[in-house]
């Protein structure tokens, strides 16, 4: 196991919330929050609040506002999914005083509407709503309009082969709209982490430090470090639309 920032007790509470989140991606997110004063937090696509509970927990010391936006597609009574989210986060984190949940479709959501619910600066945005190409193109574009300089955007399933639309939409954003604003610095299991271009080098270095620090105790980090060293010897640099990034490897992938 890695040198965990998250306690075992909290990790168990997080595990009990329905949803999909790699423990390694959760721990990496926690390390990013530990090293930065993030500011306010937004999530597009909440489901039952698994990742949002983590983000709420990590911002407790800063009294940050945390807002989740979700269309709650298929919910006959919109109060029910919101009650589930509030209950899950309250049980995991102890309170929900800083939390707001907003019923909204990100495909029609505008920057001004978001800012009615949360003040700037917004330092972290999780993009995890629709997984079709148009959703990703739209939602990353909206996140880019909202994120503060030096903030972080986590794009869920950006390289997940079971959600090819998410891959297409992420690529379309960088090809058509980015214009050098956002820069990817880490692909940590199911999440692609972006920051503003001026902070790319900082977060790339922080990611490498995280991998090196945890390699002795975490097999995934050890395999990632080994691949980084192999790439260096071969003169190969992993890039995504011109930006260098660290691609995390898991034990199963290395053995395949």
pLDDT of residue 251: 65
Q: What is the mean pLDDT of residues 146-151?
A: 98
The pLDDT of residue 78: 65
* Chain segment 195-241, per-residue pLDDT in tens: 999 999 999 999 999 999 999 999 999 999 999 999 999 999 999 99
Domains of the chain: 8-255 (3.40.50.150)
d(CA 247, CA 150): 21
| pLDDT at residue 80, as a whole number | 80
State the Cα–Cα distance between residues 133 and 37, nearest whole angstrom.
Answer: 32
R_g (Cα) of the chain, nearest Å: 18
How does strand 191-196 pair with strand 147-156?
antiparallel
Mean pLDDT value of segment 104-129:
98
**To which residue do tokens 């997110």 refer?**
29
pLDDT tens per residue across span 58-86: 999 999 999 999 998 766 566 788 999 99
Residue 143 has pLDDT above 50, yes or no: yes
- Residue 4: which pLDDT band, with cuts at 50, 70 and 90? confident
- The answer to whether residues 185 and 243 touch, using CB atoms and an 8 Å cutoff, is yes
Q: Alpha-carbon dihedral of residues 208, 209, 215, 219, nearest 10 degrees?
A: -50
Look at strands 243-244 and 246-247 and give their pairing.
unpaired
């Amino acid at each position: 196991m890695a040198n965990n920032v998250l306690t075992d007790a909290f990790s168990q509470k997080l595990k009990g919330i329905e949803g999909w989140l790699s423990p390694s991606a959760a721990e990496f997110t926690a390390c990013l929050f530990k090293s930065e004063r993030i500011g306010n937090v937004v999530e597009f696509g909440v489901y039952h609040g698994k990742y949002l509970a983590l983000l709420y927990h990590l911002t407790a010391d800063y009294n940050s506002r945390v807002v989740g936006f979700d269309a709650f597609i298929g919910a006959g009574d919109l109060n029910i999914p919101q009650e589930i989210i509030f209950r899950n986060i309250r049980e995991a984190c102890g309170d929900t005083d800083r939390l707001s949940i907003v019923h909204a479709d990100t495909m029609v959501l505008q920057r001004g509407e978001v800012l009615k619910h949360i003040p700037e600066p917004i330092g972290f945005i999780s993009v995890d709503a629709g997984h079709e190409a148009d959703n990703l193109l739209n939602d990353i574009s909206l996140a880019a309009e909202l994120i503060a300089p030096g903030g972080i955007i986590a794009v869920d399933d950006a390289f997940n082969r079971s959600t090819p639309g998410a891959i297409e939409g992420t690529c379309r954003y960088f090809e058509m709209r980015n214009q050098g604003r956002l820069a990817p610095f880490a692909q940590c299991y199911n999440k692609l982490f972006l920051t503003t271009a001026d902070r790319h080098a900082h977060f790339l270095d922080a990611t490498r430090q995280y991998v090196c620090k945890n390699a002795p105790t975490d097999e995934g980090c050890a395999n990632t470090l080994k691949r980084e060293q192999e790439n260096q010897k071969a003169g190969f640099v992993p890039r995504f639309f011109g930006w260098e990034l660290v691609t995390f490897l898991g034990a199963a992938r290395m053995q395949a």
